[in-house]
């Protein structure tokens, strides 16, 4: 069965919609939202429903309140920002379940919108508890999931809740995510190049193994490169190495060789005498990393090598920075790769929390075909996993 999207529902007029969104936005110490991409990303679905006179009940989590009501994790700032963006009143409910919520949602008129309080104020959310899910669904007629970034979690408002709705659908953000993902992984225009970076191999092993069956080239940067370089016999000094994964790294290298996949590792790097923004730094080849130094970024020759390999790419998928880009001294490799990917005429998809931050900071977001809102969810899709939140949408979708 295929996912049913909200625009496939004929009549939304007066219907009460439970819409799961991901408004897990970053806040500063004064509860001000520092970045509202996640709210903006769902506006098309919300306005679509409101324009068709639905009654919209929004649910989200924010932070990690661990099943307890904590005011610093209130949805209030998100509701307020949404209200500004819509130019319309968004009522914040005092809770996400219970009599007071029922009273508020019963009084809704067509075109009204309510934001429920943080669903993670109840332990039942993360436990995928059926009774909690039933309470959330109470009184609503249509379920819409537009929270791609939490769809890899079997949580009550994502998974169990779908059992209480005859009509289960997804929103436009989810549609974009799925459409682009299919473009890349199911039916890619080749050559398909994957760029992987970030700190560790351990979190990305399954992704690498899955990519080995699908892509034409793999480019590795970031801390994870040094486990591979060590496996190949290089002395990498104090660079990040996962000793216990050296054999596995070798297995992945052999697997890619057997499949005829080009596997590219950095040839040079920016090394530092300590992990600090004001460390002493220099550029060396990966064969010449000094014993007491650590590599914290890829070097210019690696950027050239990787960029050249992108020239014939028709599709590029990227997850994970090339270095410790949070510090200026080790950000150049990542930002140069942002430019190389942005300048490519290929379909370019960037996913994973840090990578989208790097692209935004590099000022090239508009030149990327698609920036996924999912971190873990994007990685799990790359691994070839079925995400619980998407599985239920398919099971209860259209024939
Ligand atoms: P991940 O969550 O696995 O995508 O890792 C992202 C983090 O990897 C970023 O915070 C970077 O600072 C870090 N990182 C990238 N390259 C290196 C490196 N060479 N050494 C240590 N950390 C790195």
- Ligand 1 contacts CB of residue 200 (under 6 A): yes
Give the pLDDT confidence score for residue 141 in this predicted structure: 97
Ligand 1 close to Cβ of residue 275 (< 6 A): no
- Which range of residues forms the domain containing residue 129? 6-173+387-397
Residues 126 and 237 in one domain: no
Higher pLDDT, 303 or 182: 303
Residues 194 and 323 placed together within one structural domain of the fold: yes
Rg, C-alpha atoms of the chain: 23
Residues 23, 154: one domain? yes
- Identify which of 198, 202, 203 to mutate to test ligand 1's pocket (most ligand atoms within 8 A of the CB): 198
295 lines ligand 1 (CB under 6 A): yes
Residue 294 CA to chain centroid, in angstroms?
29
Q: State both tokens at 273.
A: 């005498």
Question: Are 59 and 18 a contacting pair, CB within 8 Å?
Answer: yes
Cα(358)–Cα(339) distance, integer angstroms: 11
Distance 222 CA to ligand 1 centre (A): 6
392 assigned to some structural domain: yes
Q: Do residues 167 and 18 share a domain?
A: yes
Instruction: Please indicate, yes or no, if residue 185 is contained in any of the structural domains.
Output: no
Instruction: Please count the other Cβ atoms lying within 10 Å of the Cβ belonging to residue 204.
Output: 23
Residue 374 lies in a domain: no
Q: What percent of the chain has pLDDT over 90?
A: 86
To the nearest 10 degrees (0 to 180), the angle between helices 388-395 and 172-181 is 100
**DSSP state, 183?**
I
Asked if 251 and 145 sit in the same domain, the reply is no
- pLDDT bracket for residue 199 (50, 70, 90): very high
Closest by CA to 199, choosing from 319, 19, 28, is: 319
126 and 43, same structural domain? yes
Rounded to whole angstroms, how far apart are CA atoms 375 and 387?
13
Ligand 1, atom 2: closest residue by C-alpha = 198
CB of 323 within 6 A of ligand 1: the answer is: yes
Q: Cβ(241) to ligand 1 under 6 A?
A: no
Q: Once rounded to an integer, what is the mean pLDDT over residues 190-196?
A: 96
Nearest-atom index, ligand 1, CA of 319: 4
Give the pTM: 0.89
Task: Count the domains in the chain.
Answer: 2
Q: Which two tokens stand for residue 289?
A: 């990393």
Of 196, 271, 299, 321, best ligand 1 pocket probe by most atoms within 8 Å of the beta carbon = 321
Q: Is 198 near ligand 1, meaning CB less than 6 Å away?
A: yes
Residue from 324, 326, 328, 353 whose mutation best tests the ligand 1 pocket (most atoms within 8 A of CB): 324
In this prediction, residue 35 carries a pLDDT of: 87
What's the pLDDT score for residue 353? 63
Ligand 1 center to 220 CA (angstroms) = 12
Instruction: Report the alpha-carbon distance of residue 111 to residue 69 in Å, rounded.
Output: 29
Q: What phi, psi does 339 have (nearest 5°)?
A: -65, -45
Q: What amino acid positions are annotated as catalytic residues?
A: 38, 200, 353, 376
Mean pLDDT to the nearest integer, 312-332: 96
Question: Helix (H, G, I), strand (E, B), or coil: what is residue 150?
Answer: helix
Q: Is residue 17 part of a domain?
A: yes
Cis-peptide into 248, omega within 30 deg: no
Q: How many CB atoms lie within 10 A of CB 77?
A: 19
Contact 25, 35 (CB under 8 A): yes
Give the ligand 1 atom nearest the CA of 221.
16
- Beginning with the edge strand found earlier in the chain, give each strand of the sheet holding 192-196 in spatial order: 262-264, 217-220, 192-196, 315-319, 347-350, 370-371
Q: Does pLDDT of 116 surpass 80? A: yes
Q: Are residues 54 and 152 in the same domain?
A: yes
Does residue 358 sit within a domain? no
Does ligand 1 come within 6 angstroms of the Cβ of 221?
no
Residue 198 alpha carbon to ligand 1 centre in Å: 4
Query: pLDDT value at position 331?
Result: 96
Burial group, residue 173, by CB count within 10 angstroms (0-12, 13-18, 19+):
buried
Position 335 scores a pLDDT of: 95
Name the strand (E) or helix (H) holding 269.
Answer: strand 268-272
The CATH number of the domain where 43 resides is what? 3.40.50.1260
Over the stretch 214-265, which tens digit does the pLDDT of each residue have? 999 999 999 999 999 999 999 999 999 999 999 999 999 999 999 999 999 9
Q: Is residue 50 part of a domain?
A: yes
Q: Are residues 164 and 216 in the same domain?
A: no
What are 302's strand-pairing partners? none
Residue 362 has pLDDT above 90, yes or no: no
For residue 283, being part of any structural domain is answered with yes
Considering only CA atoms, which residue is closest to atom 6 of ligand 1? 198
Q: Quick one: which of 264, 263, 272 has its CA closest to 331?
A: 272
Which residue has the CA at smallest separation from atom 10 of ligand 1? 324
More confident residue, 250 or 186: 250
Mean pLDDT value across residues 326-354: 93
Å from CA of 269 to ligand 1 middle: 14
State the sign of the Cα–Cα–Cα–Cα dihedral 61, 63, 69, 74.
negative
CA distance 307 to 289: 23
Is residue 134 located within the same domain as residue 281?
A: no
Same-domain check for residues 149 and 197? no
Residue 240 CB less than 6 A away from ligand 1: yes
Q: What's the CA gap between 90 and 136, in Å, rounded?
A: 18
User: Are 161 and 198 in a shared domain?
Assistant: no
Kindly state whether residues 99 and 13 are assigned to the same domain. Answer: yes
Low-confidence winner among 171-175, 242-246, 322-326, 348-352 (lowest mean pLDDT): 348-352
Whether 290 lines ligand 1, by a CB cut-off of 6 Å, is no
What pLDDT score does 246 carry? 95
Residue 372 in domain: no
| Tens-place pLDDT, residues 12-28 | 999 999 999 999 999 99
Ligand 1 site, residue 59, Cβ cutoff 6 A? no
Closest CA to ligand 1's atom 4: 198
The per-residue pLDDT for range 60-91, each reduced to its tens digit, is 999 999 999 999 999 999 999 999 999 999 99
Rounded to an integer, what distance in angstroms lies between the CA atom of residue 266 and that of residue 263? 10
Averaged pLDDT score across all residues of the chain: 95
Ligand 1 geometric centre to CA of 70 (Å): 31
């Amino acid at each position: 069965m295929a996912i049913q999207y909200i625009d496939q529902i004929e009549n939304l007029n007066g219907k009460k919609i439970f819409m799961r969104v991901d408004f897990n936005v970053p806040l500063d110490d004064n509860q001000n939202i520092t970045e509202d991409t996640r709210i903006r990303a769902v506006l098309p679905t919300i306005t679509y429903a409101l324009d068709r006179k639905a009654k919209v009940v929004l649910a989200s989590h924010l932070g990690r309140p661990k099943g307890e009501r904590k005011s610093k994790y209130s949805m209030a700032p998100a509701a307020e920002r949404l209200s500004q963006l819509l130019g319309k009143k968004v009522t914040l409910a005092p809770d996400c379940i219970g009599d007071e919520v029922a009273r508020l949602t019963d009084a809704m008129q067509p075109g009204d919108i309510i934001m429920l309080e943080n669903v993670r104020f109840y332990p039942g959310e993360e436990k995928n508890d059926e009774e909690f899910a039933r309470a959330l669904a109470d009184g609503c007629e249509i379920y819409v999931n537009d929270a791609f970034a939490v769809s890899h979690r079997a949580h009550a408002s994502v998974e169990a809740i779908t059992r209480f709705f005859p009509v289960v659908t997804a929103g436009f953000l989810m549609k974009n995510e799925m459409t682009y993902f299919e473009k890349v992984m199911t039916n890619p225009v080749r050559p398909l190049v994957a760029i992987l970076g970030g700190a560790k191999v351990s979190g990305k092993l399954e992704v690498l193994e899955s990519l080995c069956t699908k892509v034409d080239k793999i480019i590795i940067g970031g801390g994870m490169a040094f486990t591979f370089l060590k496996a190949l016999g290089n002395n990498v000094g104090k660079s990040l190495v996962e000793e216990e994964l050296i054999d596995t790294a070798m297995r992945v290298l052999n697997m890619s060789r057997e499949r005829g996949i080009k596997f590219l590792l950095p040839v040079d790097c920016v090394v530092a005498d300590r992990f600090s923004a004001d460390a002493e730094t220099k550029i060396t080849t990966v064969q010449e990393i000094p014993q007491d130094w650590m590599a914290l970024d890829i070097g210019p020759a690696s950027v050239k090598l990787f960029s050249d390999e992108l020239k014939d790419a028709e599709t590029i998928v990227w997850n994970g920075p090339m270095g410790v880009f949070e510090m200026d001294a080790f950000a150049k490799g990542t930002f140069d790769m942002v430019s190389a990917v942005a300048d490519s005429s290929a379909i370019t998809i960037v996913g994973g929390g840090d990578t989208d931050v790097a692209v935004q900071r590099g000022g090239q977001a508009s030149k990327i075909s698609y920036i996924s809102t999912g971190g873990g969810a994007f990685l799990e899709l790359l691994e070839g996993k079925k995400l619980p939140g998407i599985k239920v949408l398919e099971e209860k979708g259209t024939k």
